[in-house]
A and B are shown apart, each in its own frame.
Chain A
Amino acid sequence: MSAYTRRRPPIAPPPGPPMKTGRGRRSSPMTWRWGDRLALAFAWSAGIGLCLIAAAIVGYMGYRGVQYLRPGLLFDRPTLSTTQSGSGGFLDPLIGTALLTAIGVLLAVPLAVGGALWIAEYGRPTWLARVVESSIEMVAGTPDIVIALFGLSIFQLGLFAPFSFKASGGGVFGKSFIAAGAMMSLIALPPLFTATRDGLQAVPEHMREAAFALGKTRIATIRRVLLPSVSSNIATGVTLGVSRIIGDTAIVVLLLGETLRLDPQGSAPGIGLLRGTGSTLTSYVYANSPAGEGGAPEKAYAAAFVLLVFVLGLNLLVDRIGRSQADSTGLTVAGAVV
């Protein structure tokens, strides 16, 4: 015992003049080689340049948004008009965005959370678990335009005809809120799955062991212990998924049709809306830009500003909920770039 507590005798300072301490001969960039100096300058300018680009984008969109956004635009329905002042607002696209987000999240949550629970807690035929994980990675890597075409091809089948918009002649277009929402759930699936799985893997093993020791079955442990403790991870995943969904354009353009107004199919109020076509903020921006036929850049700027505000809000929300789950740099949450 005493061997550990005994103090060592102080080491005698070396003879001669005391060593320089503090800011002595530190390597200053002025003494570096030219190549290194160039690399240093490039690193600084790349980092600061990225920040400036982001500031320019937000600043420009904010400027245009303040310039063109009128409160009335948020509550007006789009109308067909040749002039920009007569073409109404974007109430319908706002409703469309909300509706698509709701459908997408409702479909994605059971799939993603169920999958994550199975992978993390059971995953018994190991090969199947590996196949499931890699297929989710493949869904994550698939371009949204391909997912949109896939949606078009399955919802044009006669089997799914009741879910989508029909022409008067009986032809199935495969375009509806249900079709677009179902494909949106594929966009939201990977971040939601990864967030939940990482959360489950971070739950300490002794919590499960304690639950088993109390006689709980696996599924009871999942319901009473694990799901409550990963609820904030699921919330982060949902937020990430929502920000993917509201930013996606390709699926909306292909699967929701070109009508800017909500165009219900059939007379039943709720179902008709879901089976009908419409628009979202993204497709509204696209249609009103010179690329679409609208040609109303003021409306496009205003809608894009609202969209950007939503995205910023979701970003802050992820920050708030997911701070504890963020990786070491705070740049990625659950393996997804937010």
Chain B
Amino acid sequence: VLERLRNPWPDHRAERTLGAVSSLVCVLVVAMVVFVGIHAWPTFQHNGLSWLGSGTDLGRQIADQQNTTQHPPPSAYHLRAWPVIYGTLLTTGVAVVMALAISVFSSIFIVELAPARLRRLAIPVIRLLASVPSVIYGLIGILVLVPFVGNELITSAEKNSVQNVVELTGAGLGVTVVILTVMITPIMVALICEALVSVPSSWREGAIALGVNPLRAVLAVTVRAARPAIVAAAVLATARALGGAIMISMVSGSRAFSPKPIDGLVFLFEPLRTLASGIVDYHEGIGAPALGATLYAFALLLLFSAFVLSIAGYLIKLPLRRYQVRG
């Protein structure tokens, strides 16, 4: 009895228990795909893949779905989701490209250029920026940036020019992209800095010894060697940007409108809606079956993109593993 008290778990049972606990995570992931898929199914059943296309006025369509009964007719599921998909692609794409440029150069600054004292200051600052909750970014956006843009940057002539189509309040593409960029840049900076540090400094010194100036040596040697890690960081940041729901729902103006580049500068001020922010905007109406199916279809699309990005990140990091460079 004493022996059992002192050693309650035989080894093989412990192994099986821990293995079962670990497998629970796989079960959860499968369950997530299955549950979201089941709830999204009616949408794809009634719309097919043309659901992804453009067509009807999305805002009115969703409002109609909200008012459907508990057993809606098949026609209630009719929806074309292109405006939100376009909004998601637009915000994510622009924010990731901007964040990529800023983060590569600021990582070079932190790793190579900054004096030691400035570097000691910059590192906690970046970590702080990365950990600010998204709702605080949203709050600053909606209470500071949106009124500023709405009152100072948009002229009344610009407001009048699109008066019949959409109302410009300041909330829209520009503010969304700026805040999204600030949100994802620190993550990329942290990952890129790690990668830059792990490239042997003798490679860069060799280039400098050949007469290249230090900055060009960093760009041509260190950054190039760390390229897979930089792409992997961008992939991770894309996943974050796709899921930025609360912040975008607060500052994007929340209208299923597609900003049109033809409108010139006004393009930056036009409101939009993304997949994730659409779920937040309409979550109260999820009880209506047709709307619920639509929201779950948004979620399924997000889940699918997250999986694709996860696999892409893994594939990109493969050459890094081979060279024993951490990324």
User: Residues on A close to B: CB < 8 A?
Assistant: 27, 29, 32, 36, 39-40, 42-44, 46-51, 53-55, 57-58, 60-61, 110-111, 114-115, 117-119, 121-122, 124, 128-129, 131-132, 134-139, 141-147, 149-150, 152-154, 186, 189, 217-220, 222, 243, 246-250, 253-254, 258, 282, 285-286, 289-291, 297, 300-301, 304, 307-308, 311-312, 314-315, 319, 327-332, 337-338
Contacts and interface: CB of A to CB of B under 8 A. Distances in A.
B207 interface: no
Interface residues of B, number: 99
Interface of A is mostly: helix
A153 B213 contact: no
B228 interface: no
B290 to A, nearest CB: 16
Leading 5 A-B pairs by shortest Cβ distance: A143-B243, A47-B109, A247-B133, A114-B21, A118-B18
Interface stretch (B41-49, B61-69, B119-127, B257-265): B119-127
Contact of A220 (B7, B103, B249): B7
Interface in B48-89: none
Contact of A122 (B18, B109, B114, B250): B18
A337 B246 contact: no
A55 to B, nearest CB: 7
Contacts of B123: 329-331
A289 B25 CA distance: 36
Given A51-B121, A154-B35, 6 more contacts: A132-B25, A136-B25, A143-B243, A282-B135, A285-B135, A331-B123
Contact of A153 (B10, B118, B219, B296): B296
Interface centre among B11, B219, B276, B296 (most CB of A within 10 A): B11
Contact of B246 (A110, A186, A249): A249
B187 interface: yes
A121 B110 CA distance: 37
B299 A332 contact: no
26 contacts: A46-B109, A47-B122, A48-B109, A50-B125, A53-B182, A60-B140, A60-B144, A111-B21, A114-B22, A131-B26, A139-B29, A143-B239, A145-B276, A145-B280, A154-B31, A217-B7, A217-B10, A218-B15, A248-B133, A250-B276, A285-B135, A286-B138, A289-B143, A289-B250, A291-B138, A327-B326
Quick one: which of B14, B23, B242, B302 has the most chain A CB within 10 A?
B14
Contacts of A135: 25-26, 28-29
A138 B105 CA distance: 29
B132 A146 contact: no
B132 A57 contact: yes
A39 B302 contact: no
Given A53-B129, A122-B19, A243-B131, A44 B136 contact: no
A138 B306 contact: yes
A141 B309 contact: yes
A80 B326 CA distance: 53
B314 interface: yes
Q: Pick the most buried of B31, B132, B138: most chain A CB atoms within 10 A of its CB.
A: B132
Interface of B: 7, 9-11, 14-15, 17-19, 21-26, 28-29, 31-32, 35-36, 38-39, 102-103, 105-106, 108-111, 113-114, 118, 121-136, 138-140, 142-144, 182, 185-187, 189-191, 193-194, 197-198, 213-216, 219, 236, 239, 242-246, 249-250, 276, 279-280, 283-284, 286, 295-296, 299, 302-303, 306-307, 309-310, 313-314, 326
B21 A110 contact: yes
Given A27-B214, A146-B299, A328-B198, A46 B129 contact: no
A111 B25 contact: yes
A315 B106 CA distance: 22
Contact of B136 (A54, A307, A330): A307
Contact of B135 (A149, A154, A249): A249
Contacts of B313: 141
Contact of A329 (B35, B111, B130): B111
Contacts of A315: 124, 127-128, 131
Nearest to B129: A54
A296 to B, nearest CB: 11
Given A46-B105, A315-B128, A115 B35 contact: no
Contact of B142 (A54, A290, A312): A290
Given A138-B307, A289-B139, A331-B190, A246 B133 contact: yes
A138 B310 contact: yes
Contacts of B10: 217, 219
Contacts of A39: 105, 215, 219
B32 A142 contact: yes
B29 A149 contact: no
A60 to B, nearest CB: 7
B191 A332 contact: yes
A152 B246 CA distance: 17
B299 A139 contact: no
A283 to B, nearest CB: 8
Given A50-B122, A122-B19, A285 B198 contact: no
A254 to B, nearest CB: 5
Contact of B32 (A57, A150, A249): A150
B120 to A, nearest CB: 9
B15 A141 contact: no
A246 B134 CA distance: 11
B22 A308 contact: no
Given A122-B19, A141-B309, A308 B132 contact: yes
Contacts of A50: 102, 106, 122, 125-126, 129, 185-186, 189
